[in-house]
Structure 1
Protein backbone atom coordinates (compact mmCIF):
# COMPACT_ATOMS: atom_id res chain seq x y z
CA UNK A 1 0.00 0.00 0.00
CA UNK A 2 1.35 3.45 -0.92
CA UNK A 3 1.73 5.76 2.06
CA UNK A 4 -0.21 9.02 1.95
CA UNK A 5 2.04 12.14 1.99
CA UNK A 6 2.25 13.72 5.43
CA UNK A 7 0.79 17.07 4.33
CA UNK A 8 -2.15 15.40 2.68
CA UNK A 9 -2.69 13.23 5.74
CA UNK A 10 -2.87 16.27 7.98
CA UNK A 11 -5.27 18.01 5.59
CA UNK A 12 -7.53 14.96 5.42
CA UNK A 13 -7.53 14.72 9.22
CA UNK A 14 -8.45 18.40 9.51
CA UNK A 15 -11.29 18.08 7.00
CA UNK A 16 -12.59 15.01 8.86
CA UNK A 17 -12.55 16.89 12.16
CA UNK A 18 -14.38 19.90 10.67
CA UNK A 19 -16.96 17.62 9.08
CA UNK A 20 -17.57 15.92 12.41
CA UNK A 21 -18.22 19.30 14.05
CA UNK A 22 -20.54 20.43 11.23
CA UNK A 23 -22.50 17.18 11.25
CA UNK A 24 -22.90 17.11 15.04
CA UNK A 25 -23.92 20.77 15.14
CA UNK A 26 -26.35 20.88 12.23
CA UNK A 27 -27.64 17.40 11.65
CA UNK A 28 -26.14 17.25 8.15
CA UNK A 29 -25.33 13.80 6.86
CA UNK A 30 -22.07 14.46 5.04
CA UNK A 31 -19.22 16.78 4.24
CA UNK A 32 -17.02 17.16 1.18
CA UNK A 33 -13.85 19.00 0.31
CA UNK A 34 -15.34 19.90 -3.07
CA UNK A 35 -18.37 22.25 -2.83
CA UNK A 36 -19.31 21.32 -6.40
CA UNK A 37 -19.38 17.58 -5.80
CA UNK A 38 -22.77 16.22 -6.83
CA UNK A 39 -23.84 19.50 -8.48
CA UNK A 40 -24.48 20.38 -12.11
CA UNK A 41 -21.07 22.08 -12.24
CA UNK A 42 -22.44 25.57 -12.88
CA UNK A 43 -20.74 26.90 -9.75
CA UNK A 44 -17.33 26.42 -11.38
CA UNK A 45 -18.18 28.53 -14.42
CA UNK A 46 -17.41 32.23 -15.08
CA UNK A 47 -20.23 34.52 -14.01
CA UNK A 48 -21.17 35.40 -17.61
CA UNK A 49 -21.63 31.72 -18.40
CA UNK A 50 -23.73 31.20 -15.27
CA UNK A 51 -26.00 34.03 -16.41
CA UNK A 52 -26.23 32.61 -19.90
CA UNK A 53 -27.11 29.13 -18.70
CA UNK A 54 -29.74 30.45 -16.28
CA UNK A 55 -31.39 32.57 -18.99
CA UNK A 56 -31.31 29.69 -21.47
CA UNK A 57 -32.85 27.32 -18.93
CA UNK A 58 -35.60 29.82 -18.12
CA UNK A 59 -36.30 30.60 -21.76
CA UNK A 60 -36.59 26.97 -22.83
CA UNK A 61 -38.74 25.82 -19.89
CA UNK A 62 -42.36 25.22 -20.85
CA UNK A 63 -43.78 26.69 -17.65
CA UNK A 64 -42.93 28.32 -14.32
CA UNK A 65 -44.59 29.40 -11.09
CA UNK A 66 -43.63 32.95 -10.13
CA UNK A 67 -44.46 34.43 -6.73
CA UNK A 68 -43.39 37.36 -4.59
CA UNK A 69 -43.37 41.14 -4.64
CA UNK A 70 -42.65 43.36 -7.63
CA UNK A 71 -42.19 47.12 -7.16
CA UNK A 72 -42.74 49.20 -10.27
CA UNK A 73 -43.70 52.84 -10.81
CA UNK A 74 -43.84 53.30 -7.05
CA UNK A 75 -46.42 50.56 -6.54
CA UNK A 76 -46.03 47.17 -4.90
CA UNK A 77 -47.59 44.22 -6.70
CA UNK A 78 -47.83 40.85 -5.01
CA UNK A 79 -47.75 38.18 -7.70
CA UNK A 80 -48.72 34.53 -7.62
CA UNK A 81 -48.73 33.48 -11.26
CA UNK A 82 -48.38 30.25 -13.22
CA UNK A 83 -46.96 31.09 -16.63
CA UNK A 84 -46.40 29.30 -19.91
CA UNK A 85 -45.98 30.32 -23.53
CA UNK A 86 -49.65 30.16 -24.49
CA UNK A 87 -51.20 31.60 -21.36
CA UNK A 88 -51.21 32.11 -17.62
CA UNK A 89 -53.36 32.04 -14.52
CA UNK A 90 -52.99 33.47 -11.05
CA UNK A 91 -53.53 36.49 -8.84
CA UNK A 92 -52.17 39.99 -8.43
CA UNK A 93 -52.59 42.12 -5.31
CA UNK A 94 -52.08 45.87 -5.44
CA UNK A 95 -53.15 48.66 -3.08
CA UNK A 96 -55.07 46.22 -0.93
CA UNK A 97 -57.11 44.77 -3.79
CA UNK A 98 -56.63 41.32 -5.29
CA UNK A 99 -57.72 40.33 -8.78
CA UNK A 100 -57.40 37.13 -10.77
CA UNK A 101 -55.87 37.05 -14.24
CA UNK A 102 -56.41 34.38 -16.85
CA UNK A 103 -54.94 34.47 -20.33
CA UNK A 104 -55.60 31.80 -22.94
CA UNK A 105 -53.79 32.62 -26.15
CA UNK A 106 -54.58 36.26 -26.89
CA UNK A 107 -57.78 36.33 -24.80
CA UNK A 108 -57.34 37.99 -21.41
CA UNK A 109 -59.81 37.78 -18.52
CA UNK A 110 -59.82 39.69 -15.24
CA UNK A 111 -61.83 38.57 -12.21
CA UNK A 112 -62.31 40.67 -9.07
CA UNK A 113 -64.77 41.40 -6.29
CA UNK A 114 -67.05 44.41 -5.94
CA UNK A 115 -64.47 46.26 -3.82
CA UNK A 116 -61.96 46.23 -6.67
CA UNK A 117 -64.49 47.53 -9.20
CA UNK A 118 -65.78 50.19 -6.82
CA UNK A 119 -62.26 51.51 -6.22
CA UNK A 120 -61.46 51.31 -9.94
CA UNK A 121 -64.26 53.67 -10.92
CA UNK A 122 -63.79 57.36 -11.60
CA UNK A 123 -62.52 59.04 -8.43
CA UNK A 124 -63.05 55.77 -6.60
CA UNK A 125 -66.75 55.75 -7.40
CA UNK A 126 -68.49 53.32 -9.72
CA UNK A 127 -72.07 52.67 -10.71
CA UNK A 128 -73.55 50.21 -8.20
CA UNK A 129 -75.34 48.30 -10.93
CA UNK A 130 -72.15 47.86 -12.92
CA UNK A 131 -70.26 46.77 -9.81
CA UNK A 132 -72.86 44.11 -9.03
CA UNK A 133 -72.68 42.85 -12.61
CA UNK A 134 -68.90 42.55 -12.53
CA UNK A 135 -68.52 41.16 -9.01
CA UNK A 136 -66.91 37.72 -9.11
CA UNK A 137 -67.17 37.43 -12.90
CA UNK A 138 -64.50 36.96 -15.52
CA UNK A 139 -64.37 40.19 -17.48
CA UNK A 140 -63.08 39.94 -21.04
CA UNK A 141 -60.44 42.61 -21.58
CA UNK A 142 -60.50 43.93 -25.17
CA UNK A 143 -57.09 43.91 -26.86
CA UNK A 144 -57.56 47.54 -27.89
CA UNK A 145 -58.17 48.67 -24.32
CA UNK A 146 -55.23 50.34 -22.50
CA UNK A 147 -55.78 47.91 -19.60
CA UNK A 148 -54.96 44.97 -21.86
CA UNK A 149 -51.31 45.93 -22.24
CA UNK A 150 -50.87 46.58 -18.54
CA UNK A 151 -52.58 43.47 -17.20
CA UNK A 152 -51.37 41.11 -19.91
CA UNK A 153 -47.79 42.00 -18.94
CA UNK A 154 -48.29 39.98 -15.75
CA UNK A 155 -49.24 36.94 -17.85
CA UNK A 156 -46.49 36.93 -20.49
CA UNK A 157 -43.78 34.47 -19.44
CA UNK A 158 -41.17 35.55 -21.98
CA UNK A 159 -41.65 39.29 -21.43
CA UNK A 160 -41.61 38.96 -17.64
CA UNK A 161 -38.51 36.79 -17.51
CA UNK A 162 -36.63 38.90 -20.03
CA UNK A 163 -37.23 42.00 -17.95
CA UNK A 164 -36.72 40.41 -14.54
CA UNK A 165 -33.62 38.28 -15.02
CA UNK A 166 -31.36 41.29 -15.37
CA UNK A 167 -28.73 42.40 -12.88
CA UNK A 168 -27.25 45.89 -12.98
CA UNK A 169 -23.66 47.03 -12.66
CA UNK A 170 -20.63 44.77 -12.44
CA UNK A 171 -21.83 41.18 -12.04
CA UNK A 172 -19.88 38.67 -9.95
CA UNK A 173 -20.46 35.41 -8.12
CA UNK A 174 -21.51 35.81 -4.49
CA UNK A 175 -21.02 32.44 -2.85
CA UNK A 176 -23.01 29.26 -2.52
CA UNK A 177 -26.36 29.31 -0.80
CA UNK A 178 -29.51 27.24 -0.37
CA UNK A 179 -33.09 27.95 -1.40
CA UNK A 180 -35.93 25.64 -0.27
CA UNK A 181 -33.44 22.84 0.27
CA UNK A 182 -31.76 23.29 -3.13
CA UNK A 183 -28.11 24.31 -3.36
CA UNK A 184 -27.53 27.47 -5.39
CA UNK A 185 -24.81 29.70 -6.71
CA UNK A 186 -25.60 33.38 -6.20
CA UNK A 187 -24.62 36.05 -8.67
CA UNK A 188 -24.96 39.74 -7.88
CA UNK A 189 -24.68 43.12 -9.53
CA UNK A 190 -22.47 45.72 -7.85
CA UNK A 191 -22.06 43.60 -4.72
CA UNK A 192 -25.83 43.27 -4.32
CA UNK A 193 -26.97 46.83 -4.94
CA UNK A 194 -27.64 45.87 -8.55
CA UNK A 195 -29.72 42.86 -7.56
CA UNK A 196 -28.98 39.19 -6.86
CA UNK A 197 -30.01 35.94 -8.50
CA UNK A 198 -29.74 32.43 -7.05
CA UNK A 199 -29.22 29.75 -9.70
CA UNK A 200 -29.81 26.07 -8.98
CA UNK A 201 -26.74 23.88 -8.59
CA UNK A 202 -28.92 20.79 -8.81
CA UNK A 203 -30.26 19.47 -12.10
CA UNK A 204 -31.08 22.15 -14.66
CA UNK A 205 -29.58 25.54 -13.67
CA UNK A 206 -32.90 27.33 -13.30
CA UNK A 207 -33.18 30.73 -11.60
CA UNK A 208 -34.73 30.20 -8.16
CA UNK A 209 -34.76 33.52 -6.30
CA UNK A 210 -34.34 37.05 -7.61
CA UNK A 211 -33.84 40.15 -5.49
CA UNK A 212 -34.22 43.19 -7.71
CA UNK A 213 -32.04 46.26 -7.57
CA UNK A 214 -33.13 49.35 -5.68
CA UNK A 215 -35.73 47.64 -3.52
CA UNK A 216 -37.61 46.44 -6.58
CA UNK A 217 -38.93 43.36 -4.83
CA UNK A 218 -38.07 39.70 -4.36
CA UNK A 219 -39.43 36.93 -6.56
CA UNK A 220 -39.28 33.14 -6.28
CA UNK A 221 -39.37 30.80 -9.27
CA UNK A 222 -40.54 27.20 -8.91
CA UNK A 223 -42.23 24.36 -10.78
CA UNK A 224 -40.04 24.93 -13.82
CA UNK A 225 -41.34 22.87 -16.74
CA UNK A 226 -44.40 21.68 -14.80
CA UNK A 227 -47.45 22.00 -17.04
CA UNK A 228 -50.85 23.18 -15.81
CA UNK A 229 -54.33 23.39 -17.29
CA UNK A 230 -55.90 26.54 -18.71
CA UNK A 231 -59.66 26.40 -18.97
CA UNK A 232 -61.86 28.99 -20.59
CA UNK A 233 -64.44 30.38 -18.13
CA UNK A 234 -67.99 29.17 -18.49
CA UNK A 235 -70.30 31.45 -20.41
CA UNK A 236 -72.35 32.23 -17.32
CA UNK A 237 -69.23 33.33 -15.46
CA UNK A 238 -68.09 35.78 -18.13
CA UNK A 239 -69.23 39.34 -18.86
CA UNK A 240 -68.11 42.21 -21.10
CA UNK A 241 -67.21 45.39 -19.32
CA UNK A 242 -68.84 47.51 -22.04
CA UNK A 243 -66.51 50.49 -21.65
CA UNK A 244 -62.85 51.25 -21.15
CA UNK A 245 -61.39 49.26 -18.26
CA UNK A 246 -59.54 51.06 -15.47
CA UNK A 247 -55.76 50.69 -15.57
CA UNK A 248 -54.97 51.73 -12.03
Structure 2
Protein backbone atom coordinates (compact mmCIF):
# COMPACT_ATOMS: atom_id res chain seq x y z
CA UNK A 1 0.00 0.00 0.00
CA UNK A 2 1.24 3.49 -0.85
CA UNK A 3 0.70 5.67 2.20
CA UNK A 4 1.13 8.80 0.14
CA UNK A 5 -1.56 7.58 -2.25
CA UNK A 6 -3.86 6.84 0.67
CA UNK A 7 -3.38 10.27 2.19
CA UNK A 8 -3.81 11.89 -1.19
CA UNK A 9 -7.09 10.06 -1.75
CA UNK A 10 -8.44 10.61 1.75
CA UNK A 11 -7.23 14.12 2.57
CA UNK A 12 -5.50 16.02 -0.19
CA UNK A 13 -8.06 15.16 -2.87
CA UNK A 14 -10.71 16.34 -0.46
CA UNK A 15 -8.87 19.66 -0.30
CA UNK A 16 -8.84 19.75 -4.07
CA UNK A 17 -12.61 19.33 -4.15
CA UNK A 18 -12.85 22.43 -2.01
CA UNK A 19 -9.93 24.42 -3.27
CA UNK A 20 -10.65 24.99 -6.94
CA UNK A 21 -13.38 26.18 -9.31
CA UNK A 22 -16.67 27.90 -8.65
CA UNK A 23 -18.51 27.68 -5.33
CA UNK A 24 -21.76 29.13 -4.04
CA UNK A 25 -21.71 31.80 -1.35
CA UNK A 26 -23.68 32.17 1.89
CA UNK A 27 -22.42 35.67 2.66
CA UNK A 28 -23.64 37.50 5.75
CA UNK A 29 -22.59 40.86 7.12
CA UNK A 30 -21.30 39.53 10.45
CA UNK A 31 -18.90 36.95 9.03
CA UNK A 32 -15.16 37.22 8.33
CA UNK A 33 -13.99 37.31 4.72
CA UNK A 34 -16.81 39.69 3.84
CA UNK A 35 -17.21 40.24 0.13
CA UNK A 36 -15.34 37.01 -0.67
CA UNK A 37 -17.04 33.90 -1.99
CA UNK A 38 -16.53 30.50 -0.40
CA UNK A 39 -14.37 29.62 -3.39
CA UNK A 40 -12.13 32.64 -2.89
CA UNK A 41 -11.67 31.86 0.81
CA UNK A 42 -10.89 28.22 0.05
CA UNK A 43 -8.38 29.16 -2.63
CA UNK A 44 -6.57 31.46 -0.20
CA UNK A 45 -6.53 28.71 2.43
CA UNK A 46 -5.10 26.19 -0.01
CA UNK A 47 -2.36 28.62 -1.05
CA UNK A 48 -1.47 29.58 2.54
CA UNK A 49 -1.26 25.93 3.59
CA UNK A 50 0.82 24.97 0.59
CA UNK A 51 3.20 27.90 1.11
CA UNK A 52 3.72 27.34 4.84
CA UNK A 53 7.28 26.31 5.72
CA UNK A 54 5.98 23.50 7.93
CA UNK A 55 2.75 21.98 9.21
CA UNK A 56 1.64 19.21 11.53
CA UNK A 57 -1.14 16.90 10.29
CA UNK A 58 -2.86 14.68 12.84
CA UNK A 59 -6.03 12.68 12.56
CA UNK A 60 -7.87 9.55 11.53
CA UNK A 61 -8.51 8.46 7.96
CA UNK A 62 -9.74 5.41 6.11
CA UNK A 63 -7.17 3.40 4.16
CA UNK A 64 -8.36 0.51 2.02
CA UNK A 65 -11.36 0.00 4.28
CA UNK A 66 -9.49 0.13 7.58
CA UNK A 67 -8.77 3.00 9.99
CA UNK A 68 -5.46 4.83 9.68
CA UNK A 69 -4.18 7.21 12.36
CA UNK A 70 -1.45 9.68 11.42
CA UNK A 71 0.46 12.39 13.28
CA UNK A 72 3.24 13.97 11.20
CA UNK A 73 5.13 17.25 11.37
CA UNK A 74 6.74 18.04 8.01
CA UNK A 75 8.45 20.96 6.32
CA UNK A 76 9.28 22.06 2.80
CA UNK A 77 12.77 20.52 3.03
CA UNK A 78 11.25 17.06 3.72
CA UNK A 79 12.38 17.07 7.33
CA UNK A 80 9.76 14.98 9.04
CA UNK A 81 8.90 13.15 12.24
CA UNK A 82 5.73 11.35 13.13
CA UNK A 83 3.77 8.17 13.63
CA UNK A 84 1.21 6.14 11.72
CA UNK A 85 -0.93 3.27 12.99
CA UNK A 86 -3.44 0.92 11.42
CA UNK A 87 -4.69 -2.65 11.87
CA UNK A 88 -1.66 -3.96 10.01
CA UNK A 89 0.79 -2.32 12.39
CA UNK A 90 2.24 0.94 13.64
CA UNK A 91 5.49 2.77 12.98
CA UNK A 92 7.43 5.88 13.93
CA UNK A 93 9.09 7.71 11.04
CA UNK A 94 11.97 10.19 10.88
CA UNK A 95 13.28 11.78 7.70
CA UNK A 96 16.20 14.18 7.72
CA UNK A 97 18.79 15.00 5.10
CA UNK A 98 18.75 12.17 2.57
CA UNK A 99 17.77 9.41 5.01
CA UNK A 100 14.51 7.94 6.27
CA UNK A 101 14.32 5.86 9.44
CA UNK A 102 11.37 3.68 10.45
CA UNK A 103 10.69 1.92 13.74
CA UNK A 104 7.74 -0.41 13.28
CA UNK A 105 6.13 -3.11 15.35
CA UNK A 106 6.05 -6.73 14.24
CA UNK A 107 2.72 -6.39 12.44
CA UNK A 108 4.04 -3.45 10.44
CA UNK A 109 7.08 -5.37 9.22
CA UNK A 110 5.02 -8.50 8.52
CA UNK A 111 2.78 -6.45 6.25
CA UNK A 112 5.80 -4.82 4.59
CA UNK A 113 7.42 -8.20 3.99
CA UNK A 114 4.37 -9.97 2.57
CA UNK A 115 5.37 -12.32 -0.22
CA UNK A 116 9.07 -12.28 0.57
CA UNK A 117 11.04 -15.32 1.73
CA UNK A 118 11.47 -15.45 5.48
CA UNK A 119 9.14 -12.52 5.97
CA UNK A 120 7.94 -13.51 9.45
CA UNK A 121 11.49 -14.06 10.68
CA UNK A 122 12.57 -10.69 9.33
CA UNK A 123 9.57 -9.01 10.93
CA UNK A 124 10.47 -10.41 14.35
CA UNK A 125 14.08 -9.31 13.94
CA UNK A 126 13.15 -5.75 12.94
CA UNK A 127 10.31 -5.21 15.38
CA UNK A 128 10.98 -2.21 17.61
CA UNK A 129 14.27 -1.35 15.89
CA UNK A 130 15.11 1.68 13.78
CA UNK A 131 15.57 0.72 10.13
CA UNK A 132 17.06 2.95 7.47
CA UNK A 133 14.85 2.48 4.41
CA UNK A 134 15.63 3.23 0.77
CA UNK A 135 14.95 6.79 -0.34
CA UNK A 136 11.71 6.90 -2.30
CA UNK A 137 9.96 4.06 -0.42
CA UNK A 138 6.40 5.40 -0.80
CA UNK A 139 5.10 3.43 2.18
CA UNK A 140 6.82 5.91 4.46
CA UNK A 141 8.71 8.67 2.67
CA UNK A 142 5.59 9.94 0.90
CA UNK A 143 4.36 11.18 4.25
CA UNK A 144 7.42 13.42 4.52
CA UNK A 145 7.04 15.06 1.11
CA UNK A 146 4.90 18.05 2.11
CA UNK A 147 5.21 19.88 -1.18
CA UNK A 148 4.74 16.70 -3.15
CA UNK A 149 1.33 15.74 -1.93
CA UNK A 150 0.13 19.29 -1.30
CA UNK A 151 0.79 19.91 -4.99
CA UNK A 152 -2.20 17.63 -5.59
CA UNK A 153 -4.39 20.45 -4.30
CA UNK A 154 -4.63 21.85 -7.81
CA UNK A 155 -4.40 18.63 -9.79
CA UNK A 156 -8.12 18.16 -10.44
CA UNK A 157 -9.65 20.90 -12.56
CA UNK A 158 -13.03 19.25 -13.14
CA UNK A 159 -16.27 20.86 -12.02
CA UNK A 160 -16.31 21.83 -8.31
CA UNK A 161 -19.50 23.64 -7.38
CA UNK A 162 -21.90 23.87 -4.44
CA UNK A 163 -19.82 25.00 -1.43
CA UNK A 164 -21.35 27.10 1.31
CA UNK A 165 -20.04 29.05 4.28
CA UNK A 166 -20.99 28.08 7.80
CA UNK A 167 -20.94 29.91 11.12
CA UNK A 168 -17.59 30.74 12.71
CA UNK A 169 -16.58 28.17 15.32
CA UNK A 170 -13.52 27.18 17.34
CA UNK A 171 -11.23 24.37 16.18
CA UNK A 172 -8.11 23.34 18.08
CA UNK A 173 -8.27 26.59 20.02
CA UNK A 174 -8.51 28.80 16.92
CA UNK A 175 -11.46 30.57 15.33
CA UNK A 176 -12.33 29.14 11.96
CA UNK A 177 -15.03 29.37 9.34
CA UNK A 178 -16.34 26.09 7.89
CA UNK A 179 -16.65 25.72 4.14
CA UNK A 180 -18.90 22.81 3.34
CA UNK A 181 -19.63 20.79 0.22
CA UNK A 182 -22.12 17.94 -0.17
CA UNK A 183 -21.63 15.39 -2.92
CA UNK A 184 -24.18 13.14 -4.57
CA UNK A 185 -22.63 10.03 -3.04
CA UNK A 186 -23.76 11.10 0.43
CA UNK A 187 -20.30 12.43 1.19
CA UNK A 188 -19.82 15.77 2.95
CA UNK A 189 -16.49 17.59 3.01
CA UNK A 190 -15.86 20.45 5.42
CA UNK A 191 -12.76 22.65 5.45
CA UNK A 192 -12.21 24.89 8.47
CA UNK A 193 -10.23 28.02 7.63
CA UNK A 194 -8.56 30.25 10.23
CA UNK A 195 -10.25 33.65 10.49
CA UNK A 196 -7.35 35.33 12.31
CA UNK A 197 -3.82 35.65 10.98
CA UNK A 198 -3.04 33.76 7.80
CA UNK A 199 -6.01 31.83 6.38
CA UNK A 200 -4.53 28.42 7.07
CA UNK A 201 -6.56 25.23 6.88
CA UNK A 202 -7.16 24.26 10.52
CA UNK A 203 -9.17 21.11 10.02
CA UNK A 204 -10.57 18.95 7.25
CA UNK A 205 -13.52 16.61 7.81
CA UNK A 206 -14.82 14.06 5.36
CA UNK A 207 -18.00 12.22 6.39
CA UNK A 208 -20.01 9.62 4.54
CA UNK A 209 -18.72 7.97 1.40
CA UNK A 210 -15.93 5.39 1.28
CA UNK A 211 -13.09 7.40 2.85
CA UNK A 212 -14.36 9.20 5.98
CA UNK A 213 -11.80 10.93 8.14
CA UNK A 214 -10.77 14.02 10.05
CA UNK A 215 -7.37 15.76 10.09
CA UNK A 216 -6.26 18.75 12.17
CA UNK A 217 -3.53 21.03 10.78
CA UNK A 218 -1.38 22.87 13.33
CA UNK A 219 2.15 24.01 14.25
CA UNK A 220 2.43 26.07 11.08
CA UNK A 221 5.94 27.46 10.63
CA UNK A 222 7.39 25.68 13.65
CA UNK A 223 10.76 23.92 13.18
CA UNK A 224 10.52 20.17 12.65
CA UNK A 225 12.60 18.31 15.24
CA UNK A 226 13.81 15.45 13.05
CA UNK A 227 16.93 13.97 14.66
CA UNK A 228 18.45 10.72 13.31
CA UNK A 229 18.52 7.79 15.75
CA UNK A 230 21.96 6.88 17.17
CA UNK A 231 23.92 5.11 14.42
CA UNK A 232 24.60 2.09 16.61
CA UNK A 233 20.88 1.47 17.00
CA UNK A 234 20.04 1.50 13.29
CA UNK A 235 19.64 -1.44 10.92
CA UNK A 236 20.58 -0.30 7.42
CA UNK A 237 17.86 -1.63 5.18
CA UNK A 238 19.55 -0.09 2.15
CA UNK A 239 22.38 -2.63 2.60
CA UNK A 240 20.45 -5.86 2.90
CA UNK A 241 19.80 -5.40 6.61
CA UNK A 242 23.35 -4.93 7.86
CA UNK A 243 23.82 -2.78 10.94
CA UNK A 244 24.98 0.78 10.31
The more displaced of 221-230 and 156-165 is: 156-165
1:58/1:122 CA distance change after superposition, 3 Å: closer
Provide the residue aligned with 1:59 in structure 2: 50
Structure 1 equivalent of residue 138 of structure 2: 149
The 1:122/1:57 distance shift into structure 2, 3 A limit, reads closer
Q: CA deviation at 1:170?
A: 2.4
Select 2:119's aligned residue among 115, 126, 139: 126
Show structure 1 runs of 5+ residues with no match.
Answer: 1-32
Query: Alpha-carbon deviation of 1:75?
Result: 3.3
CA distance in 2, matches of 1:184, 1:45: 15
Match of 1:50 in 2: 41
Shift of 1:94: 1.3
Asked if 2 retains the 8 angstrom alpha-carbon contact of 1:169 and 1:190, the reply is: no
DSSP 3-state at the match of 1:143? coil
Task: Return the TM-score normalized by structure 1.
Answer: 0.70
Cα displacement (A) at 1:169: 4.8
- Structure 2 Cα separation of the partners of residues 84 and 56 of structure 1: 15
Pick one of 194, 202, 215 that aligns with 2:196.
Answer: 202
Larger RCO of the pair (alpha carbons < 8 Å, separation 6+): 2
| Aligned-residue RMSD, C-alpha | 3.0
Residues 144-203 of structure 1 show CA distances to partners (whole Å, capped at 9, x for unaligned) of: 6xxx02322222212343447999652222332221332211111227834110001111
**Distance change >3 Å, CA 162–CA 210, structure 1 → 2:** farther
8 Å Cα contact 1:78/1:92 also seen in 2: yes
Alpha-carbon deviations, 1:47-91, whole Å to 9, x = none? 121012101211221111110012233332100111111221100
> Given the superposition, is the C-alpha separation of residues 75 and 169 from structure 1 closer, same or farther in structure 2, using an over 3 Å criterion?
farther
How far apart are residue 97 of structure 1 and its match? Answer: 1.9
Indicate whether 1:161 and 2:157 are aligned: no
Q: CA deviation at 1:127?
A: 4.6
Q: Is the 8 A contact 2:60 2:70 kept in 1?
A: yes
For residue 211 of structure 1, what is the aligned residue in structure 2? 205
Give the TM-score, by structure 2 length.
0.71
Q: For the residues of structure 2 that align with 1:199 and 1:132, how far apart are their CA atoms?
A: 44
Return the match for 1:76 from 67, 73, 80: 67
Q: Which residue of 1 aligns with 2:164?
A: 172
Q: Which residue, out of 86, 100, 116, partners 2:108?
A: 116
Which protein is richer in helix relative to its size?
A: 1
Q: In the alignment, which residue of structure 2 is the partner of 1:231? A: 227
* Counterpart contact for 1:168–1:194, Cα < 8 Å: no
CA distance, structure 2, for counterparts of residue 169 and residue 152 of structure 1? 33
- Larger Rg over CA atoms: 1
CA deviations over 1:190-228 (Å, ceiling 9, x no partner): 278341100011111111110126243110011111112
Mean CA deviation greater in 201-210 or 177-186: 177-186
Match of 2:175 in 1: 183
Structure 2 residue 129 is matched with structure 1 residue 137: yes
